[in-house]
Structure formats: structure tokens, C-alpha cells
Amino acid sequence: MSSNIFFVMVFLIIIILDQVSKYIVNQTVDIGVTKSLLSNILYIHHTENKGMAFSIFENKGFIFMPLIIIIELLMGYYFFYYCDLSLKLPLDFILAGGATNLIDRSLKGSVTDFLQFRIRTFRSPIFNLADLFILVGAIVLLFN
């Protein structure tokens, strides 16, 4: 049970980091504005995503909310009752990232995305910290 306290703390820290970063972007960067953040590689480009990850199903993200809630609950149940310790951190990253984006979608109908990599002609999809945690968690699970 004490290990679960650690993972609950990680979960909350991820949510706080993501929500604070989105708050700062919402307060300081107008929608559609792009600013270089890191040596012309990492940019802030403020968008409001009303779809799913990477703006898939634009303006239809609300349709998937019940499914996302069910998946989050099932993953949380698995996490606390069946998950092997070696899988808990990456699963925690995925759960927290999903939860914090769900908070945004529930409260304002969209998710603030603002990070983008640009290297020469390459442009990554615009994402947020929650998306990054989900991606890292998924990659670690894939190779575990």
C-alpha cells in the first residue's frame, strides 16, 4: 500500500504540472501565436483542441468522453488491484495524462495544446505535457 502512495503522488504531480503549464500558456500566449522556446527546435504554439489526440475527430471529442472515463476507471482498477510493480510507473503516466486532459475537456470543452517540435521541415503535432506523459508511458509499456 505504501508504494501506492508514491504513485498517487506522481499522479497528482503530473496533473499539477500539466494544469499549471496550460494555465500559464492560456494567460500569456494568445491562441494561434507561435513563440520559440528552445533554440528554434521547441516552440509554443497555443491551440485549443476540441478533438482527440493530435486533433483527430476535431469538434467531436465530447462523443468519446464516456468511453475515456470508462477506460480510465478500468485502468485505475487494474492499477490498484492487479498491476505488477514494474508496470505501475508507466501506467501511472498514462492514467494521469488521460485524467488531466479529461479535466480540461470536461471543464471547457477543449484541451490546451501548446508544444511543437520543428526541425528543418519536420513539424510535430502540437501537444501538451499530458500527451507527453501518455506517450512516454506507452513507450515504456511497449518495451517492458
Q: How is the chain split into domains, by residue range?
A: 2-143
Verify whether residue 113 is a known catalytic residue: yes
Residue 61 has pLDDT above 60, yes or no: no
Residue 53 has pLDDT above 80, yes or no: no
Set 18, 92, 104, 113: catalytic member: 113
For 89-119, how does the pLDDT look when each residue is reduced to its tens digit (9 = 90+)? 999 999 999 999 999 999 998 999 999 999 9
Q: Considering the chain, what percentage of its residues have pLDDT values greater than 90? A: 64
Sequence length of the chain is 144
For the whole model, what pTM was predicted? Answer: 0.88
Q: State how far the Cα of 68 lies from the Cα of 76, in Å rounded to an integer.
A: 12
Sheet with 34-38, side-by-side order of all strands: 34-38, 42-49, 111-119, 122-123
Residue bearing cell 528543418: 120
pLDDT band of 65, cuts 50, 70, 90: confident
Verify whether residue 131 is a known catalytic residue: yes
